[in-house]
Amino acid sequence: MQVAEVTADTPMGLIIEILPGAKRALFARYHLGGCQSCAFSNEETLAQLCQRSELDAAEVLDHLLASHSHDLTMLMEPTAARELLGELRLVDLRTREEHEAVVIENSDLFTQELQQQLFADNKDQPILLYDHTGNYVLDQVAWFRGHGLKQTFGLRGGIDAWSREIDPALPRYRLEMNPD
């Protein structure tokens, strides 16, 4: 399913998959999805969520699509990142174990010390954040930008897209979730 195919009858789980920033956009404007009293299930449609929240589904959908368009301006395609490698500060948001196992060359693992250094250094230096699949990077980009680092971007698709599109020698991996 594509962004253009998202409707009020689309299940929330699918909306969040297609529009990764949808949860943030819903909570920021409508206080939906952030706590138990305003939670929603993946199977619930946007129309059902809006009906029980007494919201206009068309207006909420418009907001989600506009938020998604804005989110896209905060992402950088792997091919564009490759062209700008010498100018970008690469910051890995993954765990230390993931960083030590597979890493984009010349990137630094995000730590408290690095955070302090970035906030103290030149705030005009372009920063490229990346995670495993790009699913969580937008929240971090928004956080960095909110702290004055306006030239911060997220790598679309994360290190997985980098491996597929730029450096096939970089091993791909998947995370196993512990059922406990």
- The CATH number covering residue 52 comes to 1.10.3910
Task: Tell me, yes or no, whether 65 and 98 share the same domain.
Answer: no
What pLDDT does 21 receive? 86
Domain count, the chain: 2
Pairing between β-strand 127-130 and β-strand 107-109 as defined by DSSP bridges: unpaired
- Write out the residue range of the structural domain in which residue 40 sits: 3-71
Last residue of a domain, one of 53, 71, 89: 71
Look at residues 52, 71, 90 and tell me which one is the last residue of a structural domain: 71
Mean pLDDT of 22-31: 91
Q: Are residues 54 and 93 in the same domain?
A: no
Residues 82 and 10 in one domain: no
With a cut of 70, say whether residue 178 has pLDDT above it.
no
Of the candidates 82, 74, 100, the residue with the CA atom closest to the CA atom of residue 161 = 82
In a domain, 180, yes or no: no
Question: Average per-residue pLDDT in the chain?
Answer: 92
